[in-house]
Amino acid sequence: MDLNNIQKYLLKEIADLSGAPSGAYNIRSDSQSIARQSTENVDIIPKENGSGIDIFVKPGTKGESVHIPVVMTKSGLKETVYNDFYIGEGADVEIVAGCGIDNCGAHDSQHDGVHRFFVQKNARVKYVEKHYGSGSGKGKRILNPVTEVYMDEDSYVEMEMVQIKGVDDTTRTTTADLKEGAKLVVRERLMTHEEQKAASVYTVNLNGDNSNADIVSRGVARDNSYQKLDLKIVGNAACKGHTECDSIIMDNGKILAVPALEANNVDASLVHEAAIGKIAGEQLIKLMTLGLSESEAEEQIINGFLS
């Protein structure tokens, strides 16, 4: 791949890539695919209208990875991309996605990505999605990811959703439908600062007996930023669901947590936990006695909280 320094920097931040990865990949930059590779067990096929890609993982595939990062370096560029994942029965695959926007201009740059996962029986997926923004321009960096997950019997999906720096506006929407014995695990980490706004909306439908969802979101709101977390689990069978919102508020930040549990079956077991608060004074004092300044102590605590 022939990449400039900004593209290299963004790919390192969102996908830990310093070059072309092993396995299957599709790397997109400024609304174009700049590198693509399929493997014997993973096919990546561009959609006919050019709006995204279809990823087919063959049944029984084990130990393979798929990288599909997106970078944007042009101010004023706006796009919507649709990527569909078809995970064959019994497959076990890791998918690394994410988007990085560098905006040094006066116009807003925006990437809206719609990812749909069709996970067949007994398949396992680990999905990592990181969002990052940089650039000194006045134009905003806007990311609106939509994730839809459809899980067949006894399938397993683990999702790591991370946004730590530089995104001015985001609405993150995730929906999931689980059949019998399916399990969904989500770990979200989110930090906002300055005037940034972030909303995370989850709706998980536990439709099959012994289906299970465990969703944990950790957030830090600094300066004048705002976060809203809307978590809803619907139990339509003998199932288990757990959601947790754990947030740190700093400066003039604002956080709104909106938990919702809906039980439509007498054997649905649903639990929600939520905590919002500032950094404890004793934590700061303990680290400051070790020689850290107050700001250094705060950064240590935040890094540990979001790790």
This prediction has a pTM of 0.94
Would you say residue 1 has pLDDT above 80? no
> pLDDT tens digits, residue range 263-305?
999 999 999 999 999 888 888 888 888 888 888 888 888 888 8
- The pLDDT assigned to 153 comes to 98
Share of the chain above pLDDT 70, in %: 100
Whole-number pLDDT of residue 2: 81
Closest to 71 (Cα-Cα) out of 143, 11, 150, 138: 11
What pLDDT does residue 294 have? 86
Average pLDDT value for the chain = 95
- pLDDT, tens digit, 9 for 90 and up, residues 16-72: 998 889 899 999 999 999 999 999 999 999 998 878 999 999 999 999 999 999 999
